[in-house]
C-alpha cells in the first residue's frame, strides 16, 4: 500500500490510489508519495522518514 502525505495539513495515510480530497482536512490537495521502497526503513507499506521533513511527524504512527 502506498503512503501519501497531504500538502495542506501534512496528514499521512495509506491508500492504493490518491483520493479526491484529504481524509483529514477535506480539501482537494496535492499528495506526495512518502512510501519507503528500501529495506532500511521497513520496505513498502512503511513511511520513509527521509521524505517526511524534519518538522513533520506521521499522524498514523
What are 6-54's pLDDT values in tens digits?
A: 999 999 999 999 999 999 999 999 999 999 988 888 887 888 888 876 5
Q: Please state the pTM of the whole predicted model.
A: 0.74
Which residues, 6+ apart, have CB-to-CB distance to 58 below 8 Å?
12, 47, 52
> Could you give the CA distance from residue 45 to residue 21 in angstroms, rounded to a whole number?
21
Which residues, 6+ apart, have CB-to-CB distance to 45 below 8 Å?
1, 3, 14, 35, 36
Give the domain extent around 39. 2-51
> Could you give the CA distance from residue 36 to residue 22 in angstroms, rounded to a whole number?
21
User: Is residue 11 in a domain?
Assistant: yes
User: Is residue 61 in a domain?
Assistant: no
User: Is residue 58 in a domain?
Assistant: no
User: How many domains does the chain contain in total?
Assistant: 1
Amino acid at each position: 500500500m502506498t503512503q501519501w502525505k497531504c500538502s495542506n495539513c501534512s496528514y499521512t495515510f495509506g491508500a492504493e490510489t490518491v483520493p479526491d480530497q484529504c481524509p483529514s482536512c477535506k480539501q482537494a490537495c496535492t499528495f506526495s508519495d512518502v512510501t519507503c521502497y528500501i529495506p532500511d526503513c521497513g520496505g513498502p507499506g512503511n513511511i520513509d522518514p527521509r521524505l517526511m521533513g524534519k518538522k513533520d511527524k506521521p499522524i498514523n504512527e
